Structure 1
Amino acid sequence: MTDMEKVIIVEGRTDKKQIEKLIEEPVEIICTNGTLGVGRLEELIVEYDLDNKDVFILVDEDDAGHKLRKQLSIELPHAEHIYIDKEFREVAATPESKLATALLTCRIMINPSYL
């Protein structure tokens, strides 16, 4: 259980590692490891108290990412979406400066050296 107010939902561990490097505030980063079953998604919502937190969704710009984003949007309608440029397709493949800027637009504090 966590008392952090911001949560970023990503697909994989490499995405999580990439984001952890950039941010300068306590943010819970949850990996879905791909598509979620409804039961697992419900568990995450309860476990991390997602209905009462600032939730951000940052997934790859591919079919699996779009499917996951759609699924999360239904269960977490209050979540904000962070988008990466389609040319990079994957969060982990997005240049750090571009990723940092995308996070910053959602009021997530970034280490200035990445901007």
Structure 2
Amino acid sequence: MEVVDEKVLIVEGTSDKRKVKDIISEPVEIICTNGTISLTKMDELIDSLFDRDVYILVDADEAGEKLRKQFKREFPEAGHLYIDRMYKEVAAAPEYHLASVLIGANIDVHKQYLGKRMN
């Protein structure tokens, strides 16, 4: 039987996926929407993610908010993770910031990304 990661993180692009993948220290499936997602694709995705912990991590921009609204409407069970608006993009956010956002969702991260906050 295939082992399926219980946690799923949905991001917009491949650069977001690469950045987040380096920070996470547990098996999490990371899915890229590559921006917008059709209703058909959304329905397929929701069906495939039934019974799993799903988190949405999108950019703090117009496209990201549009995608987030779509997920809230079509997949209300998913958790939503937010980056600080000053970073605008997941790929542009510092690792320590993403690590603290992920920890907040009970996703394990590599320790070196914690506590590197520059005040």
2-structure distance, mates of 1:50, 1:70: 18
The C-alpha deviation readout for 1:7-51, integer Å capped at 9, x for no partner, is 0000000000000000010000000000111011112223xx312
TM score, norm. by length of structure 1: 0.94
Separation (CA, whole Å) in 1 of partners of 2:80 and 2:41: 20
Could you tell me which residue of structure 2 aligns to residue 95 of structure 1?
94
CA displacement 1:60-81 (0-9 Å, x = unmatched): 0000000000001112111111
Q: Which moved more, 1:36-45 or 1:4-13?
A: 36-45
| Gap regions ≥5 residues in structure 1 | none
Distance in 2 of aligned mates of 1:45 and 1:31: 14
What corresponds to 2:106 in structure 1? 107
Check the 8 A contact 1:51/1:76 in 2, yes or no: no
| Structure-1 separation of matches of 2:3 and 2:86 | 35
RMSD: 1.1
The aligned amino acid for 2:112 is: S
Aligned residues: 113
* Displaced runs of 4 or more, over 3 A: none
Structure number, greater radius of gyration: 2
**What SS does the aligned partner of 2:30 have?**
strand
Q: TM-score, normalised by structure 2?
A: 0.91
Unaligned ranges ≥5, structure 2: 115-119
3-state SS of 2:9 partner: strand
Equivalence map 1:47-86=2 (5 Å): 49-86=48-85
